[in-house]
Chain A
């Protein structure tokens, strides 16, 4: 089976840095993605790691360690608009080479003034 674990909620203040961790167990693994979802909105893509290491995109960075089945999303210079749910997701490797995503339960980030 597949499972992803991430904290259910995180609270931080504006301007701070927050790290959201994700551990996963899957039968096959292509890479780890992160999606942001505001309440009632659609998930939007943030980042993707297929190889070990850090990927940086503006204020957001994502890290992957395949040997540890672990990754994290780092958000810097937090803004109020960053308050949202953040999902890690694994793209599974399967015989059909499909791209279905298996999502974690989501981390609700609350940014306080």
Chain B
């Protein structure tokens, strides 16, 4: 079965540079989420898109932006990189469930490990 694809898997950047992370959700999934996970930390929600529209926003720095394209892939753009941005960045996709009883399963990609030096 198709899974969430993320690219690149590893990325090394210097401070103040920019980075673009890409995510290809599972076909027919309508919602994409971005999470940031620092070493030894839990995943922190950054931003989500439902049907190509931003649906929710979490602790995403103003230096970061994201969008979802017509083919449903999503990109996370990060500018003016800081050492503290070094983390694993996960993209997840799912069918949006509007109620509360449906199984709420998000499928996570393998992540992009960003190292800022």
Contact = CB atoms under 8 A, between A and B. Distances in A.
B108 interface: yes
B96 to A, nearest CB: 6
Contacts, number: 71
Nearest to B98: A97
A50 B55 contact: no
A91 B104 contact: yes
Nearest to A85: B42
A77 B32 CA distance: 35
Interface in A47-66: 48, 50-51
Contacts of A103: 42-44
Nearest to A30: B100
B106 A45 contact: yes
Nearest to A6: B42
Contacts of A96: 50, 55-56
5 contacts: A44-B108, A99-B96, A100-B45, A101-B43, A105-B42
Interface of A: 30-31, 33, 41-45, 48, 50-51, 87, 91, 93-94, 96-106
